[in-house]
């Protein structure tokens, strides 16, 4: 079987970075043992970096980016996956070292795929994508304070970068879990948007800047931090005894200037979240159980669907901080 399809192809020739939409053939897809017709992908910050200049992540060109996709199995050499099975892929270096989802078809290793739950559509799975998977892993880490770690009940939870893809879904999920969610953002015009998602209180992100003492007044039982840098330094000093800080981003910088006091005096847990390397068992749990915490009607309102051409016009806005919510890519549009 051979099918023609459109894909975004990036190239780096003589130090000149190029990106364009090309027509490819399924015979040109050499990776993996499962061929999938891609219905949807999505735009993550890492995707935007790769589309911009390869981000020193992509090593071989020409290349098809896109770290997530959902679609339907066309051919499979693995008996676990049959023709017409609906599948989801997030992470596993797809879109980084293996051809990715900004494409009408993708061929990947079967061990990267999760069967889509019956209760969500292919569109809904990409409304979530890596951002949703990351947000849910963070939410479960915060919940672990009172369940897995048998600590005191979680009440006050902070989410930084709250208007972003991960932050928006985290606000929604944590509020549904019954926590008082405090959403930190630099976008004052999005306050009502965050309240509609379930935030009880809105903080200006500047409140998390500046010098931090060794320990500050305890404010948070749990934190989902998508920012890192200076903000994370202050957050650790403000976290209550036994609190969990789920760190999943570095938009504010990769360095933190902290000390041992939050950890040895208050028992604060700094919990790193790397959704791209999450085990298959955790992924299956999150997609099947965690997705029940998502209000897809709300998520649909904060999701914008774009074509491949529109994606090329949209990713620079994400790098400038001019987007919010979720951006779903329809490669067949």
Q: Specify the pLDDT at position 21.
A: 98
What residue ranges do the domains of the chain occupy?
Answer: 4-116+302-329, 130-275
Q: Residue for token digits 């027509």?
A: 23
Nearest to 48 by CA among 105, 130, 112: 130
Q: Specify the pLDDT at position 125.
A: 97
Q: Specify the pLDDT at position 294.
A: 93
Q: Specify the pLDDT at position 187.
A: 87
Q: Specify the pLDDT at position 78.
A: 97
**Does the fold of domain 130-275 match that of domain 4-116+302-329?**
no
Q: Specify the pLDDT at position 149.
A: 84
Exposed e or buried b per residue across 111-134, where buried means at least 16 C-beta atoms within 10 angstroms of its C-beta: ebbbbbbeebbbbbbbbbbbbbbb
Q: Specify the pLDDT at position 147.
A: 85
| Displacement of CA 60 from its chain's centroid (Å) | 24
Nearest to 51 by CA among 321, 330, 308: 308
Return the half-sphere exposure (C-beta side, CA atoms, 13 A cut-off) of residue 64: 31
In words, the CATH class of domain 4-116+302-329 is: alpha beta
Architecture of domain 130-275: 3-Layer(aba) Sandwich (3.40)
Q: State which residues of the chain have pLDDT below 50.
A: none
Q: Specify the pLDDT at position 30.
A: 87
Q: Specify the pLDDT at position 1.
A: 65
């Amino acid at each position: 079987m051979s099918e023609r399809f459109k894909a975004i192809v990036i190239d780096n020739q003589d130090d000149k970075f190029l990106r364009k939409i090309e027509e490819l053939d399924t015979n040109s897809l050499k990776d993996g043992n499962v061929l999938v017709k891609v219905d949807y992908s999505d735009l993550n910050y890492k995707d935007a970096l790769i589309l911009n200049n390869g981000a020193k992540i992509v090593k071989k060109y020409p290349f098809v980016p896109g770290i997530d996709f959902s679609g339907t199995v066309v051919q499979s050499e693995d008996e676990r996956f049959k023709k017409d099975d609906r599948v989801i892929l997030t992470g596993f270096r797809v879109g980084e070292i293996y051809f990715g989802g900004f494409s009408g078809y993708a061929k990947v290793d079967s061990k990267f795929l999760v069967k889509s739950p019956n209760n969500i559509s292919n569109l809904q799975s990409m409304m979530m994508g890596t951002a949703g998977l990351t947000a849910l892993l963070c939410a479960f880490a915060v919940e672990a304070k009172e369940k897995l770690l048998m600590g005191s009940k979680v009440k006050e939870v902070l989410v930084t970068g709250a208007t972003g893809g991960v932050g928006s879904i985290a606000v929604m999920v944590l509020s549904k879990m019954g926590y008082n969610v405090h959403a930190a953002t630099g976008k004052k015009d999005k306050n009502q948007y965050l309240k509609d998602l379930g935030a009880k209180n809105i903080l200006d992100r500047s409140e998390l800047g500046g010098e931090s003492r060794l320990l500050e007044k305890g404010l948070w039982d749990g934190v989902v931090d998508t920012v890192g840098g200076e903000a994370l330094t202050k957050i650790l000093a403000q976290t209550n005894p036994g609190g969990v800080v789920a760190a999943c981003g570095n938009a504010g910088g990769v360095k933190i200037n902290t000390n041992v006091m939050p950890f040895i005096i208050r028992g604060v847990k700094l919990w790193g979240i790397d959704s791209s390397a999450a085990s298959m068992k955790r992924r299956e749990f999150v997609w099947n159980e965690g997705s029940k915490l998502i209000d897809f009607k709300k998520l649909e309102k904060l999701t914008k669907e774009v074509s491949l051409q529109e994606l090329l016009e949209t990713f620079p806005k994400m790098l400038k901080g001019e987007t919010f919510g979720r951006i779903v890519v329809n490669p067949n549009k």
